[in-house]
Amino acid sequence: MLVIEYKIKARLLQYQAINEAIKTVQFIRNKCLRYWMDAPKEAKIKRFDLNKYSTELRSKFTFVKDLNSMACQASAERAWLAISRFYDNCKSNKPGKKGFPRFQKNNRSVEYKTTGWALHSTKRRLTITDNKGVGELKLLGKWDIHTYPVSSIKRVRLLRRADGYYCQFCIDVECIDIQPKTGNEIGLDVGLESFYTDSNGHQEPNPRFLRKAESSIKQAQRRIYNKHIGSTRRRKARARYAKIHLRVSRQRREHALRLACNVCKSNDLVAYENLRVSNMLKNHCLAKSITDASWYQFRQWIEYFAKKFEKLAVAVPPQYTSQECSQCKQMVKKSLSTRTHICQCGCTLHRDTNAAINILHKAKSRGGHPRSNAKGVATSTLVGATLVEQVATMNLESPRL
């Protein structure tokens, strides 16, 4: 599955119509969620029940009827995704909060399936054909969507971001680019001092995008609270604040994408730690630095490129990788502040290099979980007959924005 993204150029009234469609999607999702909450316990609500309820909403509300019918179904499926995730967490006895579904307050996208839109013959203009009044939109971008048949486009999503409006096409193609075998194997140990340290001793510097932009973020945030609530100046200040955060998130994603692509191209086996980043964020002293490093996003891109390039990505348990000596396998206990590994056998290495070598040894001896979740970064929508998975971010292998 490939997600291709264009930026939208339109008139002010068209942008307002897109906003109205986005609000309608949020309304349908929240109404479906309320329908599930108010249903009696003996009535087991399923995905198709929510789809039927979205059809009932079309007969009750005119503004819902103006939206395409399949877009209404996609909105109901968003509610079912949150409900099914809650059920799965309860069945698996996930520790802590189970993620009870919440009402959405700031939806930013509307999604069409195979109807409700028409692509121009030049494939540089998109027309939304429902009654919301969006009309024809101009697509700006360098992607060559004309190389794919229109029948392979399974989803079209209109997305609002801080710097404008975008259109995403979900194309049903298999992304495989078989790279020649290099015979190299590498282990990666992610950290905060350096972004990662490999088993060859190379340390990739940590860019710390959020830390570098923190002063401008705080300044933009102060400008918001200096303006009156509801004023035009406050709205513009919020837009400037959101653009700074958007820039930081794009920098993180492109940095993780570039490194993961290079690592998977130059190695046949990539071993990394199977970290539970969500648990590590409970340490409030390091939570901001861990989030800024975006370890999990880096792992997702490694798994995606490993599948695309026909390489092997193995996740190994992280226990004792820093304490165990990579030569004699003796335990050398050290605190987090100790950055050099010194063993009685004469092995003297940087702490992270020693851990990276142990990670590679574990991957070769135990096998780990090869290509686990090798679907790439949180793309847009995974299309299936009965599965719709909404996730966080934008397109695969996009150019720098």
Do the bridges between strand 164-171 and strand 153-161 make them parallel or antiparallel, or are there none, so unpaired? antiparallel
Q: Which pTM does this prediction carry? A: 0.81
- In tens, the pLDDT along 142-168 reads 777 888 888 888 999 999 999 899 999
Nearest to 8 by CA among 115, 126, 162: 126
Where in the chain are the domains? 2-171, 185-370
Nearest to 169 by CA among 121, 120, 126, 135: 126
- In tens, the pLDDT along 314-323 reads 999 888 888 8
Name the 3-class secondary structure at 138: strand
CA separation for the pair 213, 242 (Å, rounded): 12
- In tens, the pLDDT along 162-209 reads 989 999 998 888 877 888 888 888 999 998 989 998 888 888 999 999
| H or E element, residue 85 | helix 69-91
Bridge partners, residue 9, by sequence: 138
- Would you say the C-alpha torsion 86, 88, 93, 96 has a positive or negative sign? negative
82 pLDDT higher than 80: yes
CA separation for the pair 288, 349 (Å, rounded): 28
Residue 363 near residue 271, CB atoms below 8 Å = yes
